[in-house]
Structure 1
Amino acid sequence: MASKRVDWGRFGLASDAEREASETTRLKDPALEEGYYGGQDAELFAEEKGDVPWWKSTFFVSERVLFGTWDGVFTSCFVNLLGVIVFLRAGWVVGEAGVPLAALAILVSVVVVLTSVVSAVGICERTRMESGGIYFLISHVLGSQVGGSVGLVYCFGQTVGISLCVTGFGESMAKLLDLRWMWAEEAMGAAALLLLALINVAGVKWVVKVQFLLLLLVLLAVIDFLVGSFLKHPEEAGVTGWSAVTWANNTRPGYTEDNSWFTVLGVFFPTVTGIMAGINMSGDLRHPARDIPVGTLSALGLSTVLYLMFAVVLGATVERKVLLTDYMITEKVSALGVLLLIGLYTTTLSSTLASLYGSPRVLQSIAGENVVPFLSPLAKGKGPNKVPVISLVVTVVVTLVFLMVGRINTLAPIVTMPFLATYATIDYAYFALAMTADMQRKREARFRRRPARAPPAWCLPPTITPALSQTKTTSARRKVA
């Protein structure tokens, strides 16, 4: 019987030739350098970690999958940023505040989250990112206790945001199907929530594959809306087409009841709170320090352009009274209402899917650090990607509670405060890290510039001082000679 050749390289006993060949292979594949097991251990565990592109992996084989800039970060961020509020409340925002102030609310929201994104990117560049997303960023700089408390606040905001998305989905589906049942909206939202939770349990591969399909449908809906604004519509719909008169009427504010610009900002701001979805994927990325900045900033830039486009198109084509009362006005403006409805439903589902991916993983990381002892059962994961099933169940239960008691205009302001607190903490964490790093760099530079000199005789031990004196005496005699 032929003897099986032992791979001694796995135990650190390879020959010089084998070790050189292994090093060449590692340099050709950067993923081995920053793989799941990381650093020098990448060679030792290269077979076990399963570092293959997600599109080459099979559906039903349980293996670890890592993602990149566009398939991981950009897709997750963009489907979160183009949420239900853009389709169902963009007209109301323009009708209340007018086009200029609506654009100001959009830009203020974007600037607030952009500041936090830049801070998060700075932390990513100065640290080695691990799983945990928001919790890891904060706890790595400010400690696990601060990171755990802020992480729980962030998860609460995400949970209310999920209920906001499924509430919008249930509201639109109930109107579309003309359901008269009192709990019809809540039932439709709960059904969608449970379906997306099952997709998350199936694994991160399923989440990303479904997100790509939903992203395509959302982009088709946006194109349908833009093309439809140039077409002629029935007069009774309140859609005038591109009109200078309509634009002039919609430039001034027209607040109703107790509403103000800050009310409008509070309703719109939850749209941009999904910006951290890519950071929450840190544990499933090949190169987090490179993928997170590019993917996140690209998604935010494209989303900002689409926000402003919606505000301008609605302000120039729809009468104000219709903007204030008809939440489905975007469907009437579009060329094919079916495409926009599909986009509305898919953006709701995609935002919910991405949030259901991120929040349980933050909870899992907090529980894994044992910051809050009674949360320790939430640290358990399923499969190679450590899918947080128990944390996902807790998130779904809390979401169902808010789904049963809230409406979109009620839930939207509740979402705002937890995210503002999280963003402020991220900004402070980056400030503290940057100041500490600069101080350390200056301290090292000061010691490098200081010339080396011998210590004075009085600080030397007694056994060294006579010898040093003898050496000085010998040197002096040589000079005299």
Structure 2
Amino acid sequence: MDTSPMVSSLLSSLANYSNLTQGSKEHEEAENNEEARKKTVQAPRMGTLMGVYLPCMQNILGVILFLRMTWLVGAGGVLGTFIIVFMCCSTTMLTAISMSAIATNGVVPAGGSYYMISRSLGPEFGGAVGICFYLGTTFAGAMYILGCIEILLIYIVPAAAIFKMEGLEGAEAEAALLNNMRVYGTIVLSFMALVVFVGVKYVNKLALVFLACVILSILAVYAGVIKTSFDPPFFPVCLLGNRTLVSKGFDICAKTIEQGNATVTTKLWRAFCDSEFLNATCDEYFTSNNVSQIQGIPGITSGILAGKKTPYLKLKLFNGNLVIGTLAWPSPWVIVFGSFFSTCGAGLQSLTGAPRLLQAIARDSIIPFLRVFGHGKANGEPTWALLLTACICETGILIASLDAVAPILSMFFLMCYMFVNLACALQTLLRTPNWRPRFKFYHWALSLLGMSLCLTLMFLCSWYYAIVAMVIASCIYKYIEFCGAEKEWGDGIRGISLSAARYALMRLEEGPPHTKNWRPQILVLMSLDGEQSVEQPRLLSLTSQLKAGKGLTIVGACVEGTYLNNQPQAQKADQVCMKLMEVEKVKGFSQVVISSNLRDATSHLIQAGGLGGLRHNTVLVSFPKNWKQAEEHHRCRNFIEVVRETTAAHLALLVTKNISAYPSNGERFTEGHIDVWWIVHDGGLLMLLPFLLRQHKVWRKCKIRIFTVAQMDDNSIQMKKDLMTFLYHLRFDAEVEVVEMHDSDISAYTYEKTLVMEQRSQILKEMHLTKNEREREVQLIQGKNATPTPTSPTSPTAPTPAAVTPGEEVQMTWTDETEKTNNPAVANPESVKDMNQSNFRRMHHAQELNGVIVKKSKEAKLVLLNMPGPPKNRNGEENYMEFLEVLTEGLNRVLLVRGGGREVITIYS
């Protein structure tokens, strides 16, 4: 509460917040006042009218309305044009509804649509769509400049053309026009960029003039409509059959005319015939169809000419006059100059808005190489962004054709509108607590309809441009994702992730998964030193090398003390673990527990790690070093408690011996073996681990060897055959070797009937099954004879090897507690002598087993072997640790594996 603001100060700051940009008056003061320049300089403001309403009007009432709407009606007809315009207006209206909902759901600073999309869909979508919106606005500036030059050269001063078009036809006329557009377009762009660079105050002053021209043009059109309703003009259209003829090139809409007493052919005749005489050979369609002149519909299709493939003919509408200009009153020049100034103003607005959009993206730092464009002049003017915008705009001008530039910006704008609708629909469907827009007239179905219309229009307009725009957006998305966007804006994509995670966790079974779905969900127990640094970082290297298991990874660490006093140390330890996980490329979670002693903290991690059905099933821990030293004895006790608790919790346990010798992720083994000593079958984890390791590039070139132990009365040859068959069904590629040993040498392990492959094969034969049925019963027998979980420390003491029959569970007795219970004389000196002899025999057996393992696997890159069960009581803990030391002596890297008591591999697909 010490850092929390008072309510009064919070309300004051919110009430005085302003996200508007600076007006021209304040901008002039900021530029001219030296003291104001030393203080915090505000960004230039344009206000609602000058910054929002005017640019929108000039974009709508610009090139498309004055230059292309009448051509669209003539080419598509009244009904077709109405459908097109209705779809476009519906798209913008639905997008406006979605944008209103998003805009009223909180304060929207500079950036407009980009800000709303990025805060709603995340930095990846925001950056991708923001760049597309910026490119669309920039190309819109190029389109408006091209429209301005087209009006200038075609309708105002055709004589100003540098590349003359008189007397040229077809491709030559088109090339001359495009070259004129490039030259004049570059000049106009340079002038506009200079005006924007000098200051937004000049843009505002010119905007008033342009707005007045636009309003005057619209009024002139409506006045002309009223006038023509009383005095309709004569708009003749010449038809040949059902085809419209281009009026340029002939003067009379007839094949022949009467001059005196003679019949004379017209220019139209000579256009379709090889001579001017009546007996000339003419075009078949011309001969078989009559020529007629009809009255065009005033104000709609009058003067629209055929010839879609010749832009020059498109431009020379109505005998060289602007069609909409013929409707204006009192003079067509009102429309001509109005549309000219409207396109100039729209171009200026685009060159003003696009750099500010790029500056907003750059200041968010989601795209690293754009950060330089976030800087500008002292008053916030985006100088560098303006320079880049002018360069991109110049590429659009070099294209020169207005009809070729228009689809480019349409793609980018439609993509922006599509994601605005998606953001609104997503926020509405997720029903997040923060979604409280003041604008209530919206619905997720309307937003989805608007999104669908945007996507449809993109592909109807130009499918290849649509694909290119999507590829550009996808590349930017992946680039931001690759660079690692560090922004967290509470966006909808994260909301989807939360909802999906909750849904998946609720559906996840609480019980154990099916064998086919089993994967190692690893809890890594890390040790921290006094500086909260990780003592065994190679544990995470091994975890990363097991990532082919595609399971959950929880890195757990313990801090000794109380939560109130040691919470900062826990945060530091969590950051250290997360950083190390990032270095080792381990995808998972970090969890640090504070407790009064490390043993309880470790127990809490084992018990409470995970969430719902997504919990760890495997514990990875390092074998304690120097455990024989008195100051390290507590590590030994903690380790054995971990073994006991994982056994009680039916969790698999992986214990790394000599963890410092394990390879890092940067090392590569070019040859060698991974040796598996399969002494008892406890679920198949022992064979699954080397398979997962070989999926990683560190172990990829190592070969797997499996050594299984046979007792003296077993058929070793048959065991090898059965084991090879078993591995074939498991799809494991490994070398197999059977090693014969005395029963006493492996008496420290729990074993069951499935250990002896010959006995399992004999059981299958006695069932009188076919070969296929026999293979299907393999898993069933393994499940029925799975290793029982060793009894807990409170259970009765397990019998010694001599007291059980073959095939029953055998547990090594690490102390002579049984003899103490059954024979009171065990406390005398002779009994103590017998205990020492018993311990000596156990160490001798461990030494014998170790000798066999060292002989076969001394040069192996990694040795995996079964880990014996923990001692029943604390008196045998030291003997247990000593047994493990003797068992693994002389081996470089050892991974002790203790299964969780259930099958983790299957022969079925």
TM-score (norm 2): 0.34
Which letter maps to 1:152? I
1:149 aligns with 2:128: yes
Give the RMSD, CA atoms, in angstroms: 3.8
Cα distance in structure 2, aligned partners of 1:430 and 1:255: 49
Cα distance in structure 1, aligned partners of 2:401 and 2:315: 16
Q: For the structure 1 residues 393 and 253, does the alpha-carbon distance in structure 2 shift closer, same or farther, using more than 3 Å as the test? A: farther
Displacement of 1:224 in angstroms is 2.1
Q: What does 1:96-135 correspond to in 2, within 5 Å?
A: 96-135=75-114
Q: For the structure 1 residues 333 and 441, does the alpha-carbon distance in structure 2 shift closer, same or farther, using more than 3 Å as the test? A: closer
Which letter maps to 1:410? A
Q: Aligned to 1:227, which of 223, 246, 249?
A: 223
Q: Aligned to 1:204, which of 200, 208, 229?
A: 200
Name 1:160's counterpart in structure 2: 139
Q: What does 1:235-250 correspond to in 2, within 5 Å?
A: 242=232
1:368 aligns with 2:363: yes
Cα distance in structure 2, aligned partners of 1:226 and 1:131: 37
Displacement of 1:180 in angstroms is 4.3
Q: What does 1:297-446 correspond to in 2, within 5 Å?
A: 314-315=299-300, 318-321=302-305, 326-327=316-317, 328-334=322-328, 335-384=330-379, 386-437=380-431
Cα distance in structure 2, aligned partners of 1:168 and 1:338: 16
Q: For the structure 1 residues 244 and 439, does the alpha-carbon distance in structure 2 shift closer, same or farther, using more than 3 Å as the test? A: farther
Q: 1:214, 1:350 within 8 Å by CA — same for their partners in 2? A: yes
Cα distance in structure 1, aligned partners of 2:357 and 2:218: 32
Cα distance in structure 1, aligned partners of 2:427 and 2:153: 49
Displacement of 1:187 in angstroms is 2.1
Name 1:74's counterpart in structure 2: 53
Q: 2:235, 2:303 within 8 Å by CA — same for their partners in 1? A: no
Displacement of 1:205 in angstroms is 3.0
Deviation string for 1:200-247 (max 9, x for gaps)? 223333323322221111111222233334557xxxxxx996479989
1:214 aligns with 2:213: no
Q: 2:428, 2:435 within 8 Å by CA — same for their partners in 1? A: no
Displacement of 1:80 in angstroms is 1.6
Cα distance in structure 1, aligned partners of 2:390 and 2:374: 16
Q: For the structure 1 residues 228 and 133, does the alpha-carbon distance in structure 2 shift closer, same or farther, using more than 3 Å as the test? A: same
Displacement of 1:382 in angstroms is 1.8
Name 2:890's counterpart in structure 1: none
1:191 aligns with 2:174: no
Displacement of 1:188 in angstroms is 1.9
Displacement of 1:55 in angstroms is 6.8
Displacement of 1:153 in angstroms is 1.2
Displacement of 1:407 in angstroms is 0.5
Deviates more, 1:422-431 or 1:433-442: 433-442
Displacement of 1:426 in angstroms is 1.0
Displacement of 1:437 in angstroms is 3.7
Cα distance in structure 2, aligned partners of 1:359 and 1:191: 19
Cα distance in structure 1, aligned partners of 2:244 and 2:363: 50
Deviation string for 1:307-349 (max 9, x for gaps)? xxxxx96217x24439966342223332323322221111111
Displacement of 1:67 in angstroms is 4.5
Which letter maps to 2:109? E
Displacement of 1:254 in angstroms is 8.5
Cα distance in structure 2, aligned partners of 1:70 and 1:159: 22
Cα distance in structure 2, aligned partners of 1:205 and 1:354: 12
Which letter maps to 1:157? G
Deviates more, 1:125-134 or 1:388-397: 125-134
Cα distance in structure 2, aligned partners of 1:52 and 1:117: 22
Cα distance in structure 2, aligned partners of 1:361 and 1:426: 19
SS of match in other structure, 1:315: coil
Which segments of 5 or more consecutive residues in structure 2 lack a partner in the other structure? 1-7, 32-40, 164-175, 247-296, 307-312, 437-909
Name 2:883's counterpart in structure 1: none
Cα distance in structure 1, aligned partners of 2:50 and 2:115: 22
Displacement of 1:393 in angstroms is 0.9
Q: For the structure 1 residues 440 and 189, does the alpha-carbon distance in structure 2 shift closer, same or farther, using more than 3 Å as the test? A: closer
Displacement of 1:59 in angstroms is 4.2
Cα distance in structure 2, aligned partners of 1:402 and 1:58: 31
Q: For the structure 1 residues 231 and 432, does the alpha-carbon distance in structure 2 shift closer, same or farther, using more than 3 Å as the test? A: closer
Q: 2:105, 2:435 within 8 Å by CA — same for their partners in 1? A: no
Q: 1:163, 1:403 within 8 Å by CA — same for their partners in 2? A: yes
Cα distance in structure 1, aligned partners of 2:184 and 2:338: 17
Cα distance in structure 1, aligned partners of 2:191 and 2:396: 18
Deviation string for 1:135-188 (max 9, x for gaps)? 211111111121011111111222222211111111221233221424322222
Deviates more, 1:170-179 or 1:340-349: 170-179
Cα distance in structure 2, aligned partners of 1:98 and 1:255: 16
Which letter maps to 1:315? I
Displacement of 1:377 in angstroms is 0.8
Cα distance in structure 1, aligned partners of 2:63 and 2:417: 22
Displacement of 1:406 in angstroms is 3.3
Q: 2:27, 2:45 within 8 Å by CA — same for their partners in 1? A: no
1:33 aligns with 2:23: no
Q: For the structure 1 residues 441 and 210, does the alpha-carbon distance in structure 2 shift closer, same or farther, using more than 3 Å as the test? A: closer
Name 2:115's counterpart in structure 1: 136
Cα distance in structure 2, aligned partners of 1:198 and 1:241: 47
Name 1:173's counterpart in structure 2: 152
Cα distance in structure 2, aligned partners of 1:88 and 1:241: 25
Q: Aligned to 1:87, which of 66, 72, 97?
A: 66
More strand as a share of residues: 2
Which segments of 5 or more consecutive residues in structure 1 lack a partner in the other structure? 1-19, 37-50, 233-238, 257-311, 443-481
Cα distance in structure 1, aligned partners of 2:220 and 2:181: 26
SS of match in other structure, 1:321: coil
Cα distance in structure 2, aligned partners of 1:313 and 1:370: 55
For CA contacts below 8 A with separation 6 or more, give which structure has more relative contact order: 1
Aligned pair count?
Answer: 339
Which letter maps to 2:400? G
Where does structure 1 differ by over 4 angstroms across 4 or more consecutive aligned residues? 55-61, 229-232, 243-247, 252-256, 322-325, 438-442
Which letter maps to 2:323? I
Deviates more, 1:361-370 or 1:172-181: 172-181
Larger radius of gyration: 2
Which letter maps to 1:365? A
